[in-house]
């Protein structure tokens, strides 16, 4: 981030934002209403400016302003920026709190935090008394945590009003939104629209339905490239890393053939797992007579703004996580976007001048799309949320005041899983057990907390805490397609014949032996930032373990305890090899295959436990460890019984042939 602006520069930048002329009106509305909804395009100044306006107009006398963000990186960079604009040292008047990191103190008046962190705070103080204003930002993203917070803050506001003192103001901010839906939920709250800088955009649809949206996007790219001026840059929405890398390769090859005839073409991938210095390429201005083409996942849809984009090519798809309550598993798969997303993507072409959007789908396809995306709460696993609701004192999660109610099966599935993990006494009367309370205290998926709790008895907490930390971080290995072979060769020394979790642990140990050296990471094709993050997470988890009297015992050089431990928390993710060459999951009898990136891809052990399921045509499991079939029979009797009942007769037990 460019950090060296003078105060005058910063002030000039602030005054040039679209929000600046309407600041008085905004403040007036804030004074009149307890709840306000603010709609404005990305970049209009909502997140950085509104908290400052509120602060300088004395609405924080009785408390702090909380500003939530779905992503931790956003919370950190925004706090840094606002501190800079206010000439404050980060962590004092302006601060942030994200999972595993707190940069705020009791004097903090503007606090950026992830939506998950605010929810954790609500578990300790449901009225959120230390805040006078709560801003729920990026509401259009509808993350699970934001959705739960909608109700939590609404309830806190009502109860604080009943108590008469220390009233709570709520601001909901969003780039695009189904405004009426939100306003209605918040008792007809008033809405302020910010005038964005939006220029007209011409939208073109494909004439026929495109089976191969990648190919048609590639053709469109070069049609534009032949005619448009060099400084009219292009943004292409694709679904994920592999697709983006393959597309980049084709585009670069074609561009090479065309060299000299047209402007140069600079191809910049953009996805969350890309190392930061490479991500920055997408934001930098290219050299003269060079067109930039950014290949992005949906992170460029609302979260970031790229200068100079005049053309958007939209493949019409997105990779999204969906939970299958029938199997208790999450899958990551490619699906069609919603109309609201299609408009948002198109809008990216008209930020600085009139633009064009080419859709790789027909008008008829567009009309068949859902108007709005399905919020996470209606499609993701609710195990963590139900656990949190119970910890918040909600007695009946089925009748919680959700803005959009999740399907009953999702809530029931969550209760079943919590019961299987020993977190609640029964699914009919969901009361937290001691284990459940411990699970609520750990900032982890309950299955991973279960691993840590189980590691105590098995004497492998040292290893399990590292593995859980590594799984909490984004991808540890760097797998650029171009260097895949080289990377695999270099990393072969870390590979464990027992699976990917042990392999990750080997990398982690080597990283620490190498004194967490950045160059070492570079040489070994592993992600430095993500490993550092894992170190940090590990430290925090170790502290939590200490508080809960779980000693940091190690079983090194043995590995069996670690693998047994993985089974004890992840018994829903066990699969057995079948004669036909694939695997069947234990509970739900799903057909899966080991992903080619796994160290066990070639060895095909008879029984495995995994931590990730992805669907790309085929169902693949990633992060796989081999276990002993006999261990399954050693699981607690009631766990096995419940597993069978959960999947009603579909499980024939470990004895089946
Ligand atoms: O929230 P909204 O998208 O409406 O805008 P914002 O996040 O307040 O950003 C307004 C402007 O501040 C951006 O267009 C950037 O110019 C600047 N900004 C920045 O330079 N660095 C950041 N970390 C955040 C914002
Ligand atoms: Mg914002």
618: burial class by Cβ within 10 Å (0-12, 13-18, 19+)? exposed
- Give the position, in ligand 1's atom list, of the atom nearest the Cα of 13: 16
Among 9, 39, 45, 90, say which to mutate for ligand 1: greatest number of ligand atoms within 8 Å of CB: 45
Asked whether residue 148 falls in the same domain as residue 173, the answer is yes
Residue 657 is predicted with a pLDDT of 24
What angle, rounded to 10 degrees, do the helices at 408-420 and 637-646 form? 160
Asked whether residue 232 falls in the same domain as residue 107, the answer is no
471-506 per-position pLDDT tens digit? 988 889 987 777 888 999 999 999 999 999 999 999
Distance from the alpha carbon of residue 442 to the mean position of ligand 2, in angstroms? 29
Distance from the alpha carbon of residue 48 to the mean position of ligand 1, in angstroms? 6
- Give the position, in ligand 1's atom list, of the atom nearest the Cα of 40: 4
**Ligand 1 contact, 18 CB (< 6 A):** no
Asked whether residue 504 falls in the same domain as residue 490, the answer is yes
- Give the position, in ligand 1's atom list, of the atom nearest the Cα of 77: 23
Asked whether residue 473 falls in the same domain as residue 553, the answer is yes
Within-domain flag for 231: yes
**Ligand 1 contact, 46 CB (< 6 A):** yes
Asked whether residue 470 falls in the same domain as residue 588, the answer is no
Q: Which domain holds residue 477?
A: 442-565
Within-domain flag for 535: yes
**Ligand 1 contact, 303 CB (< 6 A):** no
Q: What is the Cα 541 distance to its own chain's centre?
A: 20
Residue ID of nearest Cα to ligand 1 atom 20: 81
**Ligand 1 contact, 302 CB (< 6 A):** no
Residue 630 DSSP code: H
Residue 654 is predicted with a pLDDT of 30
How many domains does the chain fold into? 4
Residue whose entry in the numeric block shows the structure tokens 């958007």: 312
Cα–Cα distance between 238 and 51 in angstroms, integer? 34
Cα–Cα distance between 495 and 66 in angstroms, integer? 44
- Give the position, in ligand 1's atom list, of the atom nearest the Cα of 49: 8
- Give the position, in ligand 1's atom list, of the atom nearest the Cα of 48: 8
* Average pLDDT per block of 10 residues along the chain, 657 residues long: 72 92 94 94 90 89 92 88 95 94 94 96 94 96 95 96 90 86 93 84 93 94 95 96 92 93 94 79 92 93 83 95 76 90 92 93 96 92 93 92 94 91 90 94 91 95 97 85 85 96 97 96 92 93 93 96 94 90 86 93 94 84 94 84 59 29
- Contact at 8 Å (CB) between 113 and 342? no
Cα–Cα distance between 464 and 425 in angstroms, integer? 26
Within-domain flag for 396: no
- Give the position, in ligand 1's atom list, of the atom nearest the Cα of 42: 3
Domain boundary among 377, 397, 416: 377
Residue ID of nearest Cα to ligand 1 atom 6: 45
Backbone angles phi, psi at 419, to 5 degrees: -65, -45
Domain boundary among 139, 170, 194: 194
**Ligand 1 contact, 49 CB (< 6 A):** yes
Around ion ligand 2, residues with a beta carbon closer than 5 Å are: 46-47
Backbone angles phi, psi at 151, to 5 degrees: -75, -40
* ipTM metric: 0.98
Asked whether residue 597 falls in the same domain as residue 631, the answer is yes
Distance from the alpha carbon of residue 129 to the mean position of ligand 1, in angstroms? 29
- The secondary structure of the chain in percent helix, strand, coil, rounded to multiples of 5, reads 45, 20, 35
- Please list the residues that pair with 201 across neighbouring strands: 355
Q: Tokens in use for 213?
A: 């949206």
Within-domain flag for 575: yes
Query: Nearest ligand, CA of residue 304?
Result: 1
Asked whether residue 68 falls in the same domain as residue 29, the answer is yes
**Ligand 1 contact, 42 CB (< 6 A):** yes
Residue 427 is predicted with a pLDDT of 87
Backbone angles phi, psi at 294, to 5 degrees: -100, 125
Within-domain flag for 331: yes
Asked whether residue 547 falls in the same domain as residue 612, the answer is no
Cα–Cα distance between 396 and 398 in angstroms, integer? 5
Residue 648 is predicted with a pLDDT of 45
Distance from the alpha carbon of residue 17 to the mean position of ligand 2, in angstroms? 12
Asked whether residue 40 falls in the same domain as residue 70, the answer is yes
Within-domain flag for 407: no
Query: Nearest ligand, CA of residue 140?
Result: 2
Q: Tokens in use for 454?
A: 């189980």
* 3 state DSSP class of 244: helix
Within-domain flag for 415: no
Asked whether residue 65 falls in the same domain as residue 167, the answer is yes
**Ligand 1 contact, 43 CB (< 6 A):** yes
Instruction: Report how far apart the first and last C-alpha atoms of the chain are (Å, whole number).
Output: 59
Within-domain flag for 419: no
Cα–Cα distance between 91 and 79 in angstroms, integer? 9
- Give the position, in ligand 1's atom list, of the atom nearest the Cα of 2: 20
320: left (phi over 0), alpha (psi -120 to 50) or beta: beta
**Ligand 1 contact, 472 CB (< 6 A):** no
Domain boundary among 377, 410, 427: 377
- Find the helix or strand (DSSP H, E) in which 118 lies: helix 115-124
Asked whether residue 249 falls in the same domain as residue 344, the answer is yes
Q: What torsion, rounded to 10 degrees, do the Cα atoms 417, 423, 427, 430 define?
A: -140
Asked whether residue 313 falls in the same domain as residue 370, the answer is yes
We report the CATH number of the domain holding residue 136 as: 3.40.50.300
Distance from the alpha carbon of residue 138 to the mean position of ligand 2, in angstroms? 6
Residue 655 is predicted with a pLDDT of 30
395: burial class by Cβ within 10 Å (0-12, 13-18, 19+)? exposed
């Amino acid at each position: 981030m460019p950090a060296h602006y003078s105060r005058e520069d910063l002030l000039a930048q602030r005054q040039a934002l679209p929000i600046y002329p309407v600041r008085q009106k905004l403040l007036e509305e804030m004074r009149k209403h307890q709840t306000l909804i603010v709609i404005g395009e990305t970049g209009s100044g909502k997140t950085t400016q509104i908290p400052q306006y509120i602060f300088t107009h004395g609405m924080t006398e009785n408390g702090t302003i909380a500003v939530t963000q779905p992503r931790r990186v956003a919370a950190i960079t925004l706090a840094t920026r606002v501190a800079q604009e206010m000439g404050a040292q980060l962590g004092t008047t302006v601060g942030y709190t994200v999972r595993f990191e707190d940069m705020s103190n009791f004097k903090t008046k503007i606090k950026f935090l992830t939506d998950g962190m605010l929810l954790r705070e609500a578990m300790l103080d449901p009225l959120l008394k230390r805040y006078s204003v709560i801003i729920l930002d990026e509401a259009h993203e509808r993350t699970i945590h934001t959705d739960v917070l909608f109700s939590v803050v609404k309830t806190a506001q009502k109860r604080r009003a009943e108590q008469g003192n220390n009233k709570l103001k709520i601001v909901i901010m969003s780039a695009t939104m189904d405004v009426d839906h939100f306003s209605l939920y918040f008792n007809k709250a008033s809405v302020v629209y910010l005038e964005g800088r939006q220029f007209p955009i011409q939208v073109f649809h494909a004439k026929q339905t495109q089976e191969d949206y990648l190919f048609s996007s590639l053709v469109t790219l070069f049609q534009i490239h032949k005619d448009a001026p060099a400084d009219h840059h292009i943004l292409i929405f694709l679904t994920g890393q592999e697709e983006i890398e393959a597309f980049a390769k084709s585009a670069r090859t074609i561009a090479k053939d065309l060299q000299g005839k047209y402007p140069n073409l600079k191809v910049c991938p953009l996805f969350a797992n890309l190392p930061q210095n490479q991500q920055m390429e997408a934001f930098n201005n290219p050299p003269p007579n060079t067109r930039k083409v950014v290949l992005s996942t949906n992170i460029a849809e609302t979260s970031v703004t790229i200068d100079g984009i005049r053309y958007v090519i939209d493949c019409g798809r997105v990779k999204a996580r969906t939970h299958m309550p029938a199997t208790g598993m999450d899958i990551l798969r490619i699906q069609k976007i919603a109309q609201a997303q299609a408009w948002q993507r198109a809008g990216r072409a008209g930020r600085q001048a009139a633009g064009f959007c080419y859709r790789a789908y027909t008008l008829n396809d567009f009309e068949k799309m859902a108007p709005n995306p399905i919020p996470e709460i209606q499609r993701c696993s609710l195990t963590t949320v139900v656990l949190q609701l119970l910890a918040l004192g909600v007695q009946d999660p089925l009748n919680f005041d959700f803005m959009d109610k999740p399907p009953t099966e999702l809530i029931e599935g969550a209760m079943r899983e919590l019961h299987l993990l020993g977190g609640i006494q029964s699914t009919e009367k969901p009361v937290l057990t001691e284990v459940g309370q411990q699970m609520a205290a750990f900032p982890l998926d309950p299955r991973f907390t279960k691993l840590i709790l189980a590691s105590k008895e098995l004497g492998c907490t040292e290893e399990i805490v590292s593995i859980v930390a590594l799984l909490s971080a984004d991808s540890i290995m760097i797998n650029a397609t171009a260097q895949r072979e080289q990377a695999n060769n270099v990393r072969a020394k870390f590979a464990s014949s027992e699976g990917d979790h042990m392999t990750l642990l080997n990398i982690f140990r080597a990283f620490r032996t190498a004194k967490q050296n950045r160059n070492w990471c570079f040489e070994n094709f592993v992600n430095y930032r993500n490993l550092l993050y894992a170190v940090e997470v590990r430290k925090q988890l170790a502290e939590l373990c200490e508080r809960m009297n779980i000693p940091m015992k190690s079983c090194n050089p043995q590995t069996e305890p670690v693998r047994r431990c993985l089974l004890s928390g992840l018994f829903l993710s066990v699969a057995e090899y079948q004669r036909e060459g694939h695997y069947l999951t234990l509970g739900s009898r799903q057909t899966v295959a080991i992903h080619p990136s796994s160290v066990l891809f070639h060895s095909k052990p008879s029984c495995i436990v995994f931590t990730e399921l992805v669907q790309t045509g085929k169902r693949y499991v990633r992060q796989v460890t081999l276990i002993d079939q006999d261990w399954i029979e050693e699981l607690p009797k009631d766990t096995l019984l419940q597993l069978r009942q959960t999947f009603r007769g579909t499980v024939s037990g470990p004895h089946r042939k």
